[in-house]
Amino acid sequence: MDSPISYARIRVTLGSLQAIVASSTWQLIVLRSGRFVAQPLMKHTLLPWLACPTCHAALKEETRVERDGEIEEGSLLCGGCGAVFPITEGIPRFVASDEYASSFGHQWNRYAELQLDSRNGTRFSEERFRSITEWTREDLCGKLVLDVGCGSGRFAEIALADGAEVIALDLSRAVDACRRNLRAHPKLHVIQASIYDLPFRDGLFDVVYSIGVIQHTPDPHQAVQRIAAKVALNGRIGLWIYELSWKALVGTVGFKYLLRPMTRRCSISTIERWAAFLERLCRPITRWGRRHGLLGKIAMRMLPVSCAHLQSIPLSETDFQEWVRLDTFDMYSPAHDHPQTFRRVRGWLVDAGFRPDPRHPHGGISITATRLGERAVENP
């Protein structure tokens, strides 16, 4: 008869194996429900859409290691300036480092699946996406879509479910979490690149959106200009940006701007511990607030943690606590936070040749617009 120690060793061995697989720099396979599941790699269909982010010339594959007809490792060579961009772990990478986005890459890998509707059992991300953009399934089905600042893929999951072909892009290593989370979708492509150096030709995409990202870039105006240039004639753009208003001086948002000059100088691990400490400290009030309607929401808005927006979401207690920690980390960690006015953002889009839709309320700045033109640019 096998001893309990043998079973314990087996469990430790399996646990170690899972940890090794999960932490592997290759991340080509994951262990889920006792099965190994292949990770998606770069598809050949992505190549015609790519262009050098510097000189905008076409790219070609220089070296290639394939697995199951997809590109696992290799590089992309610019036919114009000769620049070389690596393909590692099945993802084309157009950045030298994570730069100012390292904190975002950390949070999206630490809480990789938390905000996915398919994981938490809610429709919160879908409802937020719909209310921000007012786009329906018919607006996205069959379209080529660019998700700028995809994080772990919470909104890309919605666009994919609507039948879109989605290129999910992020500056940080969040792209690795996005690829893992949405691996079941054959129309997903993942790229690591900067919003200021997008590796696509102009006028390529039917739809481009960026939700909660622009304000965290060094120059929001230039960021909007860069992504707007990638929208096809008669194509759509959707943005959600922090709004510059008197509300930024009170409640939870007030704590953010009061404390961030200190917290953003701290290490990622220190900010993570700070967010966890604040969540535990405020937990009695957040638990009470979730059960007491308007009065509870007012109380939650006065806390130094980001939680009031989650009050009515039917999350489990554990998911709620982790989401509060995630959003509180996000509140105190960014190196850049540049809220804007609606008039200013609208002006940027008009100057870029777009016709903005009437404003629809969703807290912050929610704005969609159509690029003016007689015909859409055909995709390859």
CB atoms within 10 A of CB 338: 17
Whether residue 168 contacts residue 181, with contact meaning beta carbons closer than 8 Å, is answered with no
Residues (pLDDT < 70) of the chain are 1-39, 97-109, 247-252, 361-362, 374-380
Q: What are the φ and ψ backbone dihedral angles of 30, each rounded to 5 degrees? A: -130, 155
Sign of CA dihedral 21, 95, 91, 167: positive
The pLDDT value given to residue 274:
95
Chain segment 169-185, per-residue pLDDT in tens: 999 989 999 999 999 99
The pLDDT value given to residue 208:
99
For the chain, give the mean pLDDT. Answer: 86
pTM of the predicted protein model: 0.85
Give the type of residue at 116: L
Would you call 11 exposed, middle or buried from its count of C-beta atoms within 10 A (0-12, 13-18, 19+)? exposed
| Euclidean distance between CA atoms 143 and 338, whole angstroms | 31
The pLDDT value given to residue 100:
46
Give the type of residue at 37: V
Whether residue 39 contacts residue 29, with contact meaning beta carbons closer than 8 Å, is answered with yes
